[in-house]
């Protein structure tokens, strides 16, 4: 003790109040930075000396210091007994084999940083924010543009199919081989290009985007590319790339949607009379896109091997195989009617279908590995197809609503000047900005080889949900033009089809409550999965290493959450200066608080957390918006901090933190912590008094809404990548033409307004004012012609489609110019 006293002797001369203050400050600093145990121990000794503690207290303090710092001792005295206690309390969540596979699918990417409580913003800023390659851009500007020109959305809905010319073009130009390697005849495009292509096609026609995205998403090509045998790749991939084979993939069943364990489709291995091994398959599948016109059917089923002919046991589990559609016993040919949206969505059945055992994807070695294949493929696919098609609806809404609000007049004013219209317009523009940011950020990660299952679940859920809000807002703004179906209506079909996007590839309720946080809490947490595995394996060493690191992690994040809260994030640094800096500090605050409260939920509910879906959903919202905010911050920096984007950026970031605050409020109000729930209610009061975010201001929303109505490069960039027809008789083309004419004519309108205010002209419509304005030389003849053209375009743009009774009853479409189709075309449709 004398040696210690000499070492820390200077502490004994420090006043008591100063010693206590210093101890508290040091403790908070150590906790905030996550100081190691040995440093805490030294600080403890210094504190005891400073307090002139008796010798027995030094001895008493030394005992826990030794126990906690000497790992073999700690394992025997603490970690082992804690493991037994947790096992006795059934604290572990019950994880099925399918859940375990889903949790382990893919990898952890940026979401791990956000879950850590102390994100490395340098890493988040260094992630790629990619553009298309020259080859991809040429395809985007060439074949993608041309097929958009060939297809008319209204005609597709009336025909309930594409023309044969369109199908041939899609096959010829390689649209079904976007992801297939070049050596097999595919285009081998990046995830970023795949996403951009689907988005552009979908902005023209939803079924067109769906038809292209399905063969390039979860299906035979994707599975073969990663898991097929060389023989399977050599045969199928060239045929799929050329469109000779039309694929589908059959997974969903009446009693097995989200719960793959409930799958009843089965296969049995048997030896044929020729001595070869075969599979006998029976299935009942539904909601299978392209099934009715498929030539090769990918099938997921439970495989049994009663005689252990494959040497892998009797019950092999979920397996994937390729079945030629013309195989005896395969039943196709029927379609579902998904809300009238005319893409091929179908049931399929199989009755004692016999195929060689080599039909298993990956051959014999692939038997029983189907669920892993599916989960790893979905971990990528969820981040591409549905986010892209959803973003198409968002960009279309931003473009058209911006034009419509400037064109449509009520009470003598453009409706875009009304605050009631500005509010939903700001949502449309703000959502679109952060969705495009998240699309590129996500595909940039995928192109680097990442397979982040939680991030892609975040993308699928949030893109489809926010687009649902966008389309609802757009429908409200355009009113009757949104509910009157016909070739002029650009919103009705998107409005009708959105529940499909919400439902497929993991229904959104499930995705939010189970996948984003339910699985994410285990998968993305730095220690939780390792602890669970150690408990299951009775691995005391592994448990000891992770459990005590986890305890330190909780303490660090508690301190960080507290300190960042009382300083409103200013204690955290920012990797950038300028407008984004404050948002980086808030993100550090959000991450620390999220990580701490996530551990509170894990500790309070244990294995029961998976059933607390309301709480889990709120945690999922926080993680989602932290990711969307991170992507938005990356976009703003990657695009050069554009001044004209600043309002969109600020609105998006303010909204992100508003939603984070909203979720925290719900957690603090509802979380149940044995004996401490009241304390968290008090924390909730403090949180509401000191919110991390509030809804974007009215003034900011006003600026976003006004920017959406102004033609130019900024508006073009916000909707970059969508199909914009140049034909002024097309639906979108009408709005573009009218907006351009009206904008160019604004100086003339101002002259007429000024003349009316001076009472040089009576209050009347602009068209009626042209003659007296010319007579009084208020405007020139050329200016009068400009007004006439602009007002004619305005009147035309706000018209809705109308049909004769015969046309309506016979479902006869009109072409975009308002005239009926040629008699031959009508006869072919009716």
Q: Which residues are catalytic?
A: 505
Cα separation, 241 vs 164, in Å, equals: 18
* CB-based contact 660:590 (threshold 8 Å): yes
* CB-based contact 304:266 (threshold 8 Å): yes
* CB-based contact 405:421 (threshold 8 Å): yes
Cα separation, 650 vs 820, in Å, equals: 47
Cα separation, 241 vs 173, in Å, equals: 10
Q: Is 759 left (phi over 0), alpha (psi -120 to 50) or beta?
A: left
Cα separation, 646 vs 583, in Å, equals: 13
* CB-based contact 111:520 (threshold 8 Å): yes
> CB under 8 Å, gap of 24 or more: what pairs does 256-264 form?
257/507, 258/506, 258/507, 258/510, 258/514, 259/98, 260/98, 260/300, 260/318, 260/371, 260/374, 261/96, 261/97, 261/98, 263/300, 263/301, 263/302, 263/318, 264/302
Among 667, 684, 649, 650, smallest CA distance to 565 is for: 684
* Beta-carbon contacts of residue 760 (< 8 Å; ≥ 6 apart): 776, 778
* Beta-carbon contacts of residue 2 (< 8 Å; ≥ 6 apart): none
- Dihedral (CA of 714, 718, 721, 726) sign: negative
Cα separation, 223 vs 241, in Å, equals: 14
* Beta-carbon contacts of residue 826 (< 8 Å; ≥ 6 apart): 812, 820
Which DSSP symbol is given to 814? B
Among 221, 147, 219, smallest CA distance to 179 is for: 221
Q: Which two tokens mark 224?
A: 């073969």
* CB-based contact 651:433 (threshold 8 Å): yes
* Beta-carbon contacts of residue 561 (< 8 Å; ≥ 6 apart): 117, 589, 592, 593, 595, 596, 597
Cα separation, 403 vs 478, in Å, equals: 11
| Rg of the chain (C-alpha set) | 31
3-state secondary structure 245-281: CCEEEECCECCECCCHHHCCCEEEEEECCCCCEEEEE
Which DSSP symbol is given to 348? E
* Tokens 């209506």, located at residue: 489
Q: Which two tokens mark 318?
A: 């979920």
Q: Which two tokens mark 455?
A: 């991030």
* CB-based contact 381:217 (threshold 8 Å): yes
Among 190, 193, 197, smallest CA distance to 148 is for: 197
Number of C-beta neighbours around residue 576 at 10 A: 15
SS3 450: coil
- How far CA 184 is from CA of 174, 219, 249, 477, in Å, comes to 12, 16, 20, 48
């Amino acid at each position: 003790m004398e040696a210690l006293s000499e070492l820390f002797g200077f502490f004994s001369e420090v006043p008591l109040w100063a010693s206590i203050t210093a101890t508290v400050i040091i403790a908070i600093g150590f906790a905030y930075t996550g100081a190691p145990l040995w440093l805490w121990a030294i600080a403890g000794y210094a504190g005891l000396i400073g307090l002139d503690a008796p010798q027995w207290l030094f001895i008493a303090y030394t005992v826990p210091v030794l126990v906690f710092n000497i790992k073999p001792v700690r394992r025997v005295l603490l970690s082992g007994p804690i493991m037994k206690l947790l096992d006795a309390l059934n604290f572990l969540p019950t994880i099925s084999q399918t859940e375990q596979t889903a949790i382990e699918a893919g990898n952890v990417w940026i979401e791990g940083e956000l879950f850590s409580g102390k994100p490395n913003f340098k890493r988040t800023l260094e992630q790629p924010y990619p553009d298309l390659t020259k080859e991809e851009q040429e395809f985007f500007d060439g074949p993608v543009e041309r097929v958009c020109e060939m297809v008319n959305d209204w005609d597709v809905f009336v025909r309930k199919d594409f023309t044969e010319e369109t199908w041939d073009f899609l096959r010829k130009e390689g649209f079904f081989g976007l992801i297939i390697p070049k050596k097999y005849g595919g285009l081998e495009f990046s995830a970023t290009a795949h996403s951009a292509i689907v988005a552009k096609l979908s902005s023209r026609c939803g079924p067109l985007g769906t038809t292209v995205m399905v063969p390039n998403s979860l299906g035979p090509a994707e599975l073969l590319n990663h898991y097929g045998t060389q023989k399977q790749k050599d045969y199928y991939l060239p045929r799929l790339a050329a469109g000779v084979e039309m694929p589908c993939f059959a997974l969903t069943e009446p009693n097995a949607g989200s719960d793959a364990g409930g799958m009843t489709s089965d296969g049995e291995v048997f030896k044929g009379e020729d001595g070869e091994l075969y599979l006998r398959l029976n299935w009942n599948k539904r909601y299978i896109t392209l099934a009715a016109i498929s030539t090769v059917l990918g099938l997921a089923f439970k495989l049994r091997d009663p005689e252990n002919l494959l040497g892998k046991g009797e019950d092999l589990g979920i397996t994937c195989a390729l079945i030629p559609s013309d195989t005896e016993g395969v039943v196709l040919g029927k379609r579902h009617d998904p809300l009238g949206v005319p893409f091929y969505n179908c049931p399929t059945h199989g009755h004692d279908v016999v195929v060689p055992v080599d039909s298993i994807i990956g051959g014999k070695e692939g038997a029983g590995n189907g669920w892993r294949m599916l989960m790893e493929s979905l971990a990528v696919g969820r981040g591409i197809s549905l986010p892209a098609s959803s973003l198409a609806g968002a960009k279309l809404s931003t473009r058209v609503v911006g034009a419509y609000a400037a064109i449509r007049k009520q009470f003598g004013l453009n409706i875009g000047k009304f605050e009631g219209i500005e509010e939903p317009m700001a949502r449309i523009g703000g959502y679109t900005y952060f969705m495009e940011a998240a699309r590129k950020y996500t595909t940039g990660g995928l192109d680097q080889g990442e397979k982040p299952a939680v991030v892609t679940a975040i993308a699928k859920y949030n893109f489809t949900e926010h687009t649902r809000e966008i389309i609802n807002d757009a429908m409200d703004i355009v009113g009757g033009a949104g509910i009157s179906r016909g070739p002029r209506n650009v919103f009705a079909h998107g409005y009708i089809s959105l529940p499909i996007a919400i439902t497929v590839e993991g229904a959104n309720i499930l995705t939010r409550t189970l996948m984003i946080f339910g699985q994410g809490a285990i998968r993305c947490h730095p220690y939780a999965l390792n602890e669970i595995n150690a408990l299951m394996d009775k691995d005391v060493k592994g448990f000891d290493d992770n459990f005590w690191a986890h305890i330190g992690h909780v303490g660090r994040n508690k301190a960080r959450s507290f300190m960042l809260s009382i300083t409103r994030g200013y204690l955290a640094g920012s990797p950038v200066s300028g407008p984004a800096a404050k948002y980086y500090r808030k993100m550090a605050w959000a991450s620390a608080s999220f990580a701490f409260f996530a551990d509170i939920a894990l500790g309070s509910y244990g294995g029961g957390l998976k059933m607390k879906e309301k709480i889990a959903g709120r945690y999922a919202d926080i993680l989602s918006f932290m990711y969307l905010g991170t992507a938005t911050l990356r976009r703003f920096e990657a695009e050069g901090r554009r001044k004209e984007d600043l309002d969109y950026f600020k609105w998006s970031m303010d909204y992100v933190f508003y939603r984070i605050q909203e979720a925290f409020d719900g957690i603090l109000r509802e979380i149940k912590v044995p004996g401490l729930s009241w304390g968290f209610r008090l924390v909730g009061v403090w949180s509401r008094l000191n919110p991390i975010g509030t809804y974007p201001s009215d003034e900011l929303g006003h600026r976003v809404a006004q920017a959406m109505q102004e033609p130019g490069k900024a508006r073009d960039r916000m909707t970059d990548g969508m199909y914009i027809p140049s034909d002024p008789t097309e639906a979108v083309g009408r709005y573009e033409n009218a907006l351009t004419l009206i904008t160019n004519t604004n100086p003339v309108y101002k002259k007429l307004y000024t003349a009316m205010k001076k009472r040089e002209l009576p209050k009347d419509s602009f068209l009626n004012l042209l003659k007296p304005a010319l007579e009084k030389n208020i405007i020139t003849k050329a200016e009068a012609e400009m007004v006439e053209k602009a007002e004619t375009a305005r009147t035309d743009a706000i018209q809705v489609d109308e049909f004769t009774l015969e046309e309506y009853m016979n479902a006869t479409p009109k072409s975009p110019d308002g005239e009926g189709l040629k008699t031959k075309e009508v006869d072919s449709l009716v």
